[in-house]
Structure 1
Amino acid sequence: AQSHVCLFQDISAFSRLRLERDRLLQIGALHAVLPTLLHELRNPIAAIETTLELLVEEAEGSDKQFDLHALLGEVRRVKLSLQGVGVAADLRANGYAVIDEAIADVVRVMARRAEQYGISVVAQVEAMPLLPFEPGVMRAVVFNLVDNAVTASPKGSEVTVSARLCTADIFELVVADQGRGMSDEVKERATELFYSTKRKGSGIGLALVKRAVSNSGGTMRVESKLDAGTTIKITLPTTTIERPTGLYRRLEDLTTPQ
C-alpha cells in the first residue's frame, strides 16, 4: 500500500503582511507626489477661476452669462476637490475667520452640481461669530462630506448640511443623506485610507477628514444603516488647545488608529 504525506501551511499571515506592505507602498507613493501634484494643478486652476470671474462680470446681461456661471461653478468645484485631497491639515488657525460663510460657499457650489442628478442640497447654517478655524480646510472638509453624500444619494432625495455652535466652546457640523447607507462592516472601515465601496472611489476623502478633525482635537461620528441613509457628525472645540508639531501630518499617520 502506498502512503502519502500531506503538508499544510497557514498562509493567511503572509497574505495579511503582503496586503499591509502593498498599502504602505501606496501611501509612500502618494506622500511623495501629492504636494507637487497639488501645486502644479492649483496654479492654473486659480488663473482660470480669475479669468472666468472677469468674463462673468463683462457678460452681465448677455446670453453668455449663464454658461460662464456654469463654467465658473465647475472650476470652483474642482478647486474644492483639490483642497479636499490636501485636507490632512489642522483645522485650527492662529487667527479667526468667518466660517459660516466658508461652509455656505461650498454648499452653493455643490447644490448646483447636485441639481444635475435631481438631488437637493439644503444648508442649515447658523450665523456664528468669528471662529479659530482655517476656512480653506473647513471648505475642504465640507466638500468631501457633501460630495460623498451626493454620490450615495438617489434621485429625488435631499442632503442636509447643518452647522452651529452647540455651546460657546463647541462647534458642530452635520452632513446627512437619504442614500443607501452602510452595513456595519463597511461603516467600521469607512475612514480607512484607500478603502472604498465605489467602483471609481479613491478611499481618500473620509480618511483625510477624520485625520483633520482628530488633529484639531475634535471627534467624528458616522451613523448609518442599510437603506436608511448616513449621517456624519463632527464636533470641534473652539478653544485653543496645543497644536501638533508641524501643520501637516505624514500620510502614513492616517493608518494609525485614533
Structure 2
Amino acid sequence: MNQSDDFLFQHSKLGIAYIGLDGRCLKINDTMCNMLGYSQEEVQHIDYQNLIHPDDLKEGTVEFLQLLEGTVEQFTTDKRFIHKKGNIVWLNKTLSMIRSKTNEPQLLIAQVQNITDRKRAEEALTEAEANSHKVFEQALVGIYLHQEGKLKYINPYLADMFGYTREEFLQLKGKDLLVDEDYVKVAEQARRSLTENNETLMFAVRGRKKNQSIIHLEGHCSLTTYKGKTSIQGTVYDVTYKKQTEDLLRENANSFQRMLEYLPEPIVVHREGIIFYANKTAVQLVKAKFDAGIELIGKSIFDLLNQDDYVEINDKIQQLMHTNEASEFKERIIRCSNGELHHAEISSIRIDDANGKPVILSVFRNITERKQAEEMLIRSEKLSAIGQLAAGVAHEIRNPLTSLMGFTKVLKAKSTNQESLYFDIMQQELERINLIVNEFMTLAKPNLHEFNNGNLVDIFSSVISVLETQAIMTNVNIRKNYTDKMPCIYCDENQLKQVFLNIIKNAIEAMPEGGDIIITIREVKSAKLHIQIEDQGIGIPHTIIERIGETFFTTKEKGTGLGLMISKRIIEDHQGSFQISSDGKKGTIVDIYLPNFSQLTVSDFI
C-alpha cells in the first residue's frame, strides 16, 4: 500500500478493515476503531468474528461462500457489532475479496458505515406502526386509507358499520358506499380541499349499507404519504342515532313552538334582555305591525315596559337566572308599538333553549279590560254615592236659594242706584249657585231618556245658533265639515244638545285669541257615526287628560268638574264612546262614536 493509499485508508469517512482468510484483522482504520471503541493495537489481536453479534454470525454465510468461490465480487449486509463497552453498534458492511493474479483469494476488505441511529429509528417506527395498527384495529371509529383510486386499508369497525366483511369492503369504491348526490358533493369538496388547498376536509354524508339501508356519517380526511406515495387517510363516525335524535328534538321543538305560537296567553322569550321569540298573541298585545313578530325580534324587552320599572325588572331577571322557580304574576304597564299603554300581569321563568343555554320565558296577561271594568265599577259606585249626596244637597239648597233670589229682586227694586250695583252682584252669584244646583240635580236624577229619531245636522244647527254670538265675540269661527244628508240616529236630542253645547263652549273658552272649531260627522264601519270636534286652543297636558271626567275635577276658575263627566255618561247611555286627545301644546280633539240608527233597534237602548 503506497503512501497515497494509506492516507485515504486512514482518513476515509467509512470504516475499512483488511481481514485475513483466517478471520483475523490485519489492518483497520481509525474510523472503524472509533465505531467499535478499540485502538489499532487492540483490534489486531481480536478475531474479526468476535466483533460481530453472535446472532448475526450465520447471516450472509451463503454470500460469503459465493465470494470465496468467485461467483460474486462483493455483497452488502447489515450486521450488529459489539462495541468495546458492550453496547450494540449497527454497521452496514460491504465485503469484497482481493485475489492473486492466479485468482486465488488472499484477503477480505470490509467497508462499513455506522447505521445505528437509522436502525433505532426504523425499530421505533416499526414499533410505532405496530402500535398504531393495533390501535386502528381496535378503534371504535371507522378508519380508512385510500391510494391510487383504491382502498388500501380499512379497520374492522368500518367494515361492520356498513355490514361487509373487510375483504368485500376493500373491493368497493366510494360511489358504492354513499348516496349518489352525497358522493358527487363530497368528491368535489375533497378535490378542492385536499388537492388544491391541502386542507383537512370535514364532511357529513349519507352512506348505503350492504342491506341498502341508509346511515348518516360524519368524518374528516387529509393527505398523507404511505410507502412513498400520496394517500388519503380519514375517519368515519356513524351518527345515525345522533341524527335521528336531532330530528326528533327538532320536531319536538317545532311542535313546542307551534304550541306556543297559538297559546291564548302572550309569550315572549328573551336572552340578556333581547327578544328572539314572540308568539302571535304577544304580537297582538303590543300592536306590532307584522304578525310573525319580526318587529319584536332583536328589540329589548325593556322597550315594551314602563321606564319606571326597568331597575326592578332587571333585578328580577338576574334572580331568575339562578333558580328554576317562576316569578309571581305582577302588574305592569305595557307600551305598544302605536304608543298605547296597556295593563298586563307578567310572570317569568328560566328555561334552556335548544342549545342548552338559559333564556327567560315571560308570560303576559292582558288585564286592560279587567282594569277598565274595575274603574267603571268604581266610577259607578262613586257616581251613585255622589248622586245620592247631590240629591240631598240640591234639595236642601234649592229652597233657601229660591227665597234668597226672590228677596234679592224685591230689595233691588227698592234700592238706590248705588245699592243696585251690589244687588246685581248678589243676583249673579245666586244664579251661579242655582246653575251648580241644577247640575247636581242632573247628576242625581234617574236616567229617564226620551229617545226618538233624531238628526245630528239639526241638533248641531241648534247648538251653533246658541253659541254663535259668544264665538263671534272671541273671534272664533265654527266650521261644519259634513253634508245636510246624514243618517238619523236614535237619541235624546236635548241630552245630546247638552253634550255638544258643553264641548263647543269649552273649545271657545280655550281660544281667547280666536281660531277655528271644526265639526266633522262621517259614517264609519261597525255601524257607527263618528263625530269629531277639533279646536285650535292651548291644548291639554297628558297628565290632565287622564283625569278628565273625574267628579269635581276642573281646571277652570269657576268650573264645577261635572260638565264633561255628565257629557260622557250621556254618550255612554246612548251606547256610544267618548274620547279626548291632545298633543299637550296646541289643539284638542273630542271623538264621539254613536250607533247608526239604520243598523240598530230600539231594544238596544233599553
Is 1:188 matched up with 2:546?
Answer: yes
**Percent of aligned pairs sharing the same letter:** 22
Amino acid at match of 2:392: A
Q: Secondary structure at the match of 2:538?
A: coil
The aligned counterpart of 1:120 is 477
Distance in 2, matches of 1:132 and 1:96, equals: 5
Change (3 A) 1:210 1:84: farther
In the alignment, is the contact (CA less than 8 A) between 2:507 and 2:535 conserved in 1? yes
Q: TM-score, normalised by structure 1?
A: 0.60
Distance in 2, matches of 1:136 and 1:229, equals: 27
The aligned counterpart of 1:136 is 494
Q: Secondary structure at the match of 1:162?
A: strand
Amino acid at match of 2:594: L
The aligned counterpart of 2:392 is 32
Change (3 A) 1:111 1:122: farther
Out of 510, 527, 533, which is 1:175 matched to?
Answer: 533
Distance in 1, matches of 2:560 and 2:450, equals: 28
Distance in 2, matches of 1:180 and 1:109, equals: 24
The aligned counterpart of 1:11 is none
Q: Secondary structure at the match of 1:136?
A: helix
Q: CA deviation at 1:229?
A: 1.0
* Length, aligned pairs only: 182
Residues 59-78 of structure 1: matches in 2 within 5 Å? none
Amino acid at match of 1:222: I
The aligned counterpart of 1:200 is 558
In the alignment, is the contact (CA less than 8 A) between 1:83 and 1:137 conserved in 2? no
Q: CA deviation at 1:84?
A: 11
The aligned counterpart of 1:235 is 593
Distance in 2, matches of 1:111 and 1:83, equals: 23
Structure 2 gap ranges (5+): 1-381, 403-434
Q: CA deviation at 1:97?
A: 2.3
Change (3 A) 1:27 1:170: same
Distance in 2, matches of 1:158 and 1:137, equals: 25
Out of 455, 461, 465, which is 1:108 matched to?
Answer: 465
Change (3 A) 1:160 1:89: farther
Distance in 2, matches of 1:235 and 1:162, equals: 12
Distance in 2, matches of 1:86 and 1:208, equals: 8
Q: Secondary structure at the match of 1:103?
A: helix
Change (3 A) 1:219 1:23: closer
Q: CA deviation at 1:106?
A: 0.5
Is 1:157 matched up with 2:518?
Answer: no
Q: Secondary structure at the match of 2:604?
A: coil
Amino acid at match of 1:31: A
136-145 or 91-100, which moves further after superposition?
Answer: 91-100
Change (3 A) 1:90 1:30: closer
Structure 1 gap ranges (5+): 1-21, 42-78, 245-258
In the alignment, is the contact (CA less than 8 A) between 1:162 and 1:173 conserved in 2? yes
Please say which structure displays the higher CA radius of gyration.
Answer: 2
Amino acid at match of 2:587: G
Amino acid at match of 1:30: A
Out of 452, 455, 458, which is 1:98 matched to?
Answer: 455
In the alignment, is the contact (CA less than 8 A) between 2:390 and 2:440 conserved in 1? no
Q: Secondary structure at the match of 1:189?
A: coil
The aligned counterpart of 1:8 is none
Amino acid at match of 1:32: G
The aligned counterpart of 2:51 is none
Amino acid at match of 1:207: M
Q: TM-score, normalised by structure 2?
A: 0.27
Amino acid at match of 1:188: E
Amino acid at match of 1:178: Q
In the alignment, is the contact (CA less than 8 A) between 1:97 and 1:131 conserved in 2? yes
In the alignment, is the contact (CA less than 8 A) between 1:179 and 1:230 conserved in 2? yes
Q: Secondary structure at the match of 2:561?
A: coil
Change (3 A) 1:28 1:91: closer
Q: CA deviation at 1:230?
A: 0.5
Q: CA deviation at 1:185?
A: 0.9
Superposition RMSD in Å:
3.5
Distance in 1, matches of 2:392 and 2:482, equals: 37
Distance in 2, matches of 1:172 and 1:139, equals: 16
Structure with the larger strand share: 2
Distance in 2, matches of 1:84 and 1:172, equals: 29
